[in-house]
Amino acid sequence: MARPSTVHICSECGHQEARWHGQCPGCQAWNTLVEERAPTVAGSGRSQRGARAAAAAPVRLRDVEADSAPRIRTGIGELDRLLGGGIVPGSLVLLGGSPGIGKSTLTTMALGLLQGAGRRTLYVSGEESAAQIRLRAERLEVGSAPGALDIPMLAETDLGAVLATLEVERPEVCVIDSVQTLAAGELSGAAGTVGQVREVAGRIMEVAKRNDVAVILVGHVTKDGALAGPRVLEHLVDCVLQFEGERERTYRTLRALKNRFGSTNDVGVFEMREGGLVEVLDASARFVAEATKAPGSVVLAAMEGSRPLLVEVQALVSPSELVPPRRVCAGIDRNRLALVLAVLARHAGVGTGTADVFVNVVGGVRVDEPGADLAIALAVAGAARGVPLGGEDPRVPVCAFGEIGLTGELRSVAHHDRRTEEAAKFGLGAVISPDGAPTLRAALNAALGRSAAAQRAA
C-alpha cells in the first residue's frame, strides 16, 4: 500500500491521523487537525535507531564573522526607516492590513522605485489580474513611482510555479500578494488554510534565503485586526509590518510589530492621495491645524514609538433614552473608555450614567497607550459640561497627557520632555500633565479654571 503523502496533525496535542476529523481523537478538541506533508524517513527504523549523530563543534561569538550586506533602499523614507535603513537581502517581510487600506499600493510603489533605480524586481499576484495591476501602476507612474509599468509581473496561485520562477529570475526584491492565495499541490486543503499557509511560507523562506531574494509577503487580517493564518507565520518571517487606518480617512499608519534588523519603536505616517501614498513627515502640524476649540476637544500629546505625535481627541455627551446608554469610540480601546468614565464619575464628579458618550481620535489614528487617559477624560468632561477647555488664548486648544489610576491619581508616562517640547513647538502652551496636576480632579479644576478665566477676560 502506498504511503500517504500528507497527514493531519493536531495543533493542540500532536496526534496524527491519515484523514481529517472535526474532533481530534487524542485530546477531543474541535477543528485542530491541520494537514501537513508526511515526514520522510531515510532508511529503515533499525538503522535510524542504531545511528548516532556526529557532534557539532560550538563556535565562540567573537569568532563569528558578521554579515554586513548592504541594505536595499526602496526610496520611501518612512518604509526604509521602519525596516532599519532598507530591505535586507534574503529577508522575509510580512505586511498585513485591512482590505483596501493600501497594501498593494505601497508594495507597487516600492517595486516601481526599485525598478526605476535599476534593481531586479518581481510582482507575484494571486488576487488581481495583470490588467488590474496595470491600472494601478499607471496611476502610480504618473504620481509617485516612476518605473511602475516596468515591473515584471506574474499572476499565479500555484506555489511550484512561483518557486520555479524565483529560481530562474533571481530578483533582488519580490512581492507576493498575497500569501493566503498560494497553494501547494502536495496538500489537499484549500488555499489560505493553516496547513497551506505554513507550507507556502516555509518553502518561500527556503528559496529566498538560498538565493538572497528579499520577499515581501502581503497577508490578510481577521475581523479583529490581527494577522490571519497560523502564528508560526509571524515566527518564520524577519519583519512584521502592520498597515492601519480607515479607508474613509486619508491618513495611514505603518507600524513595525517585529523586526530582526531594526527597532520596533517607530511608526510611519502616510496620506492616501490620487497619485498614491505620500509620506507625512510632520503629522502633528496637520492635526493641530485642524483642531477646534469647541467643548469636548482636547489635543493629546501621544507617543508613536519614539516619535511624538499631536492628535485631537473629540468627545460628545448627549442625553440618552436607552438603557444602558451607548459607549461608542474610534481610535481608542472601548474598555479603556469605560475605565476613564468610571473614574470620572467616582473621583471627579462627572457622571455620564444616563448619557450616550462618543469619543473619536480625529484623522483615523489609533492610540493604544495609557498616556491618552487624561485627554479622554478632559474631552468627556468638557463635553458633559458644555465648556471649552483652554488657556488664556481662546484660539489655542489645551494639550494633555497622562495615565489615570483607579483611585483618581495621575501617573507619569514615558517621554514627558519630548511630549512637552512637541506641544511647545506648535504653540500649545497650556499643557496639563501629571507633573502639574497630581489627581484627575486637580486636572479638571485647572482646565476649567483656565477656561473660566479666559471667558471672564473676554
Q: What is the pLDDT along the chain (458 residues), one digit of tens a residue?
A: 445 578 888 877 778 888 888 888 888 888 888 777 775 544 444 444 445 778 888 999 888 877 666 899 999 998 998 898 899 999 999 999 888 888 999 999 999 999 999 999 999 999 888 899 998 898 888 667 888 899 999 999 999 999 999 999 999 999 999 899 999 888 877 788 777 888 899 999 999 999 999 999 998 887 666 776 667 788 889 999 998 877 767 788 888 889 998 888 778 888 888 888 888 888 788 788 878 778 899 999 998 777 888 999 999 999 998 889 999 999 899 999 999 999 999 999 999 999 999 999 987 788 888 999 999 999 999 999 998 886 556 667 889 999 999 999 999 999 999 999 999 888 886 789 999 899 999 999 888 765 444 444 44
Amino acid 455: pLDDT: 45
Amino acid 269: pLDDT: 84
Amino acid 115: pLDDT: 93
406: which 3 cell numbers? 483607579
What end-to-end distance do the CA atoms of the chain give, in Å?
93
341: which 3 cell numbers? 468614565
Burial grade of 14 (CB within 10 A; 0-12, 13-18, 19 or more)? exposed
Instruction: With CA atoms as reference, report the closest residue to 372 among 327, 339, 421.
Output: 339
Who contacts 244 (Cβ-Cβ below 8 Å, separation ≥6)? Answer: 97, 98, 101, 225, 252, 253, 254, 255, 366
- Cross-strand pairs, 358: 316, 328
Q: What is the largest CA-CA distance in the chain?
A: 94
Amino acid 107: pLDDT: 94
Amino acid 3: pLDDT: 52
Q: What is the DSSP letter of 155?
A: E
CA dihedral of residues 292, 297, 298, 304 (deg, nearest 10) = -80
Who contacts 29 (Cβ-Cβ below 8 Å, separation ≥6)? Answer: 10, 12, 13, 23
Cα–Cα distance measured from residue 53 to residue 5, given in angstroms and rounded to the nearest whole number: 27
Amino acid 47: pLDDT: 46
Instruction: With CA atoms as reference, report the closest residue to 148 among 178, 177, 107, 176.
Output: 107
**Do 150 and 122 meet the contact criterion of CB atoms below 8 Å apart?**
no
Instruction: With CA atoms as reference, report the closest residue to 34 among 52, 51, 17, 58.
Output: 17
CA dihedral of residues 247, 248, 252, 254 (deg, nearest 10) = -30
Instruction: With CA atoms as reference, report the closest residue to 415 among 430, 401, 397, 396.
Output: 401
Cα–Cα distance measured from residue 3 to residue 281, given in angstroms and rounded to the nearest whole number: 59
Instruction: With CA atoms as reference, report the closest residue to 91 among 74, 72, 110.
Output: 72
